[in-house]
Chains A and B, each alone.
Chain A
Amino acid sequence: MPGILFPRGVVEGRESLEVYRARGGYEALDKTLKQLSSDQVMQIVAESGLRGRGGAGFPTGKKWAFTAEAPETPHYVVLNGGEDEPGSMKDRLLMESLPHLVLEGIVLAAYAVKASKAYLYINAAYKDAIQSMLDALAEAKQAGYCGERILGSDFSLEVLLTPAPHEYVAGEDTAALEVIEDKKPLPRQKPPFPATSGLFGKPTAVNNVETLANVPPIIAKGAKWYRSFGTAESPGTMIFSLNDEVKKPGVYELAFGTPLRYLIEKCGGGTREGKKIKAILPGGPSSAFLRAEQIDVALDHNSVRAAGSSIGCGVVGIVVERSCIVEEVLRIAEFFAAESCGQCPACRMETNMLAMMLKKVQQGQGGQPILDQFSKVIAFNKGKGFCNLVNMPGPPIESALKLFRSDFDFHLANGRCP
C-alpha cells in the first residue's frame, strides 16, 4: 500500500540524495525559502493536523507555535531519535533508509520555529542510522540544503549530533535535553515545557523522527492533500511495528483509521503458527490490553482510546492463546521497574512495588486481597513524577486484571500458569 513516507511501500536500503531529489526531495524546502514565511509553514503544518508520532499524539503545529512565538532566543530543534520503546523500529528505519526526508523535515521545522541550530539526538546503539544521517548531512551541506545561507536565502542552520544513551528514559524529551547539555538522562519537572524553556533554557521544538519526516510531504503537497489520508482527528499515516508474534514482523505504514485486523492479518500474515489471538497491546507496553474480539478497531487515536487503550508510537504487541497474561504483565512491570531512572520517589516505589506484587501473584501468594491492592498503588502514585513513566505500568496491569482476571485467579490458586 502506498504511503506518505514510503510512497512505494516500506523499502530498506538507504535512499541517496539523487534518488530523493528525483522524487521531489528538497522541493518543499526550495518552495518554502522562495515563497513562504515561517508563519505560513507553521500554518500549513497546523492545518494538516499532524500529530506527534513519539507516543503522546500532540498537535505538532501547536507545539511549534509555542516555540516560534517565544520571545527568548536562540531557538532550537531537536530530532528525537532515542527510540527506546521495546519493539519499536520505525525511527531507526526512517533514519537509515530515508535520511534526506528526515533531514529536510528538520530544516523545515527549524525555519518554522526560527531556530538556527538543530540537534540529531540518536540512539547510540543505532550505528547505521547515525552514519546515514551524518552522511546525509554532509551531502545536504554540499548541495546547499543545510548550513550557511540555505539555497541562497538568509536562513542558516547548523546541525549537530548527540548520541542518545540506550535506556528507556533517555527518549523522554526533557531527558534528551539534559543529555545534549552533557548531563545524565534524567527527565526534568514540567512545566516549563521544552517548547518555551528547553535546551539551555531556551525555546526548543523536540520532535520524534517520524513526525519530522511527515513535514516535507505536507509542505510540498499541502494540508488538504495530507488530510486525504487518515481520519479527521488523526490525519495522515502512521508507521506500525510488528514483532515476532506474527509471520512477517516488520514496519508497515498505514493510513490512520485502518482496521487493526488489516495490520495483523494482511501485513503481518497473522500470528506465527496460526495461533488464536488472546489479547492485543495496540500501543506498546504502556497501553491497555484489548480483547481479541476488538481486532476490528480502527487504528487512530480516538478509536483506540474509545476501545479503552492508546495507540502510543505504533508498536503492536500480540498475546496468543495459551499465553499467560500474568506472565505478560509481570514482564512489563519488571521492565518499568528496571527503567525507572529513580529520581522520583513515587515512581521508584510504584514500579518496584507493582513488580513485586505481580511476582507474588505469579508464585500463588497474597490471595484475592492482593489483587485489590494494584489499583490502590497505581492511584496513590498517579502523576507523582517528573515524567510519565510513573503512569505507564497502570494501563496494562489494570486492563489485564479487568479482562483476564481468571489468569490471576489461577495463579493465586495454583502458583503456576493456567
Chain B
Amino acid sequence: MKRICLVCQNVDCKIRGSEAIMKELQQGVTDRGLSDVEVRPYMCFGACQEGPNVVLYPEKSWYASVKKEDLNDILGHLAGGPDVKRLDTIDGSLKELIYQLLDTGVF
C-alpha cells in the first residue's frame, strides 16, 4: 500500500503557504527516491487556525503550523526517521475524527 502525505489546501492553510509546502514535499519525495510515498492535496482537516496542516497516513502523524524549514524533518520521517514531535500540537479528539475518516478511505 502506498503511504500518503496529505497537505491541506483549504483557504486558511493556502493563505499560510500550503501550496508551496505541498510542492516542496513533492519535490523532496522525488529527490529522496521515496517511491512508496504520494504527496496529495487534502480538502480540509478542520484545524484551520493551526495551518498549514500535513497528515501522514497510515502513520497517522499530524503536523501543524508547518513552515518550509520544517520540511526536511518531515521528509526525514517519511524516509524512516523519527517523527517530528514539535509539530504534533493538534487536539486528540479532532485527530481521532480525521483518522477515522481516513480509515474509511475519505481522501
Residue numbers of A with Cβ under 8 A of B are: 342, 345-346, 348-350, 352-353, 356-357, 360, 365-367, 369-370, 373, 376-377, 380-381
Given the complex, which residues of A lie within 8 Å of B12, measured CB to CB?
A: 345
Given A376-B97, A376-B100, A377-B101, residue A370 in contact with residue B106 (CB < 8 A): yes
Given the complex, which residues of A lie within 8 Å of B93, measured CB to CB?
A: 380
Interface centre among B43, B97, B100, B106 (most CB of A within 10 A): B106
* B106 contact from A348, A350, A357, A380, Cβ within 8 A: A357
Given the complex, which residues of B lie within 8 Å of A350, measured CB to CB?
A: 46
Q: In the complex, given contacts A353-B101, A370-B106, A373-B104, what are 19 additional A-B residue pairs having Cβ atoms less than 8 angstroms apart?
A: A348-B10, A348-B11, A348-B44, A348-B48, A349-B10, A349-B43, A350-B46, A353-B106, A356-B43, A357-B101, A357-B106, A360-B106, A367-B105, A373-B97, A373-B100, A373-B106, A377-B97, A377-B101, A380-B46
| Structural contact, A342 and B11, CB atoms closer than 8 A | yes
A193–B93 Cα distance when bound, in Å, is: 32
Given the complex, which residues of B lie within 8 Å of A380, measured CB to CB?
A: 46, 93-94, 97
Given the complex, which residues of B lie within 8 Å of A357, measured CB to CB?
A: 101, 104, 106
Given the complex, which residues of A lie within 8 Å of B35, measured CB to CB?
A: none
Given the complex, which residues of A lie within 8 Å of B103, measured CB to CB?
A: 369
Given A353-B106, A357-B106, residue A381 in contact with residue B100 (CB < 8 A): no
A340–B94 Cα distance when bound, in Å, is: 21
Distance in Å: Cβ of B43 to nearest Cβ of chain A:
5
Given A348-B11, A349-B10, residue A373 in contact with residue B101 (CB < 8 A): yes
Given the complex, which residues of A lie within 8 Å of B97, measured CB to CB?
A: 373, 376-377, 380
Given the complex, which residues of B lie within 8 Å of A345, measured CB to CB?
A: 10, 12, 44, 46, 48-49
Residue numbers of B with Cβ under 8 A of A are: 10-12, 43-46, 48-49, 93-94, 97, 100-101, 103-106
A285–B11 Cα distance when bound, in Å, is: 26
> Secondary structure at chain B's binding surface: helix, strand, loop or mixed?
helix
| Structural contact, A353 and B104, CB atoms closer than 8 A | no
Distance in Å: Cβ of B47 to nearest Cβ of chain A:
8
A350–B43 Cα distance when bound, in Å, is: 10
* B46 contact from A342, A346, A369, Cβ within 8 A: A346
| Structural contact, A370 and B44, CB atoms closer than 8 A | no
Distance in Å: Cβ of B73 to nearest Cβ of chain A:
26
Distance in Å: Cβ of A258 to nearest Cβ of chain B:
42
List 25 interface pairs A-B (beta carbons < 8 Å), by A numbering.
Answer: A345-B44, A345-B48, A346-B46, A348-B10, A349-B10, A349-B44, A349-B45, A349-B46, A352-B10, A353-B44, A353-B46, A353-B101, A353-B106, A356-B43, A366-B105, A366-B106, A367-B105, A369-B104, A370-B101, A370-B105, A373-B106, A376-B100, A380-B93, A380-B94, A381-B46
Given the complex, which residues of A lie within 8 Å of B45, measured CB to CB?
A: 349
Given A342-B11, A380-B97, residue A352 in contact with residue B44 (CB < 8 A): yes
Distance in Å: Cβ of B52 to nearest Cβ of chain A:
13
The 4 A-B residue pairs whose C-beta atoms are closest, nearest first, are A345-B48, A370-B104, A349-B46, A349-B44
A370–B104 Cα distance when bound, in Å, is: 5
Given the complex, which residues of A lie within 8 Å of B46, measured CB to CB?
A: 345-346, 349-350, 353, 380-381
Given the complex, which residues of A lie within 8 Å of B48, measured CB to CB?
A: 345, 348-349
A366–B104 Cα distance when bound, in Å, is: 5
| Structural contact, B100 and A360, CB atoms closer than 8 A | no
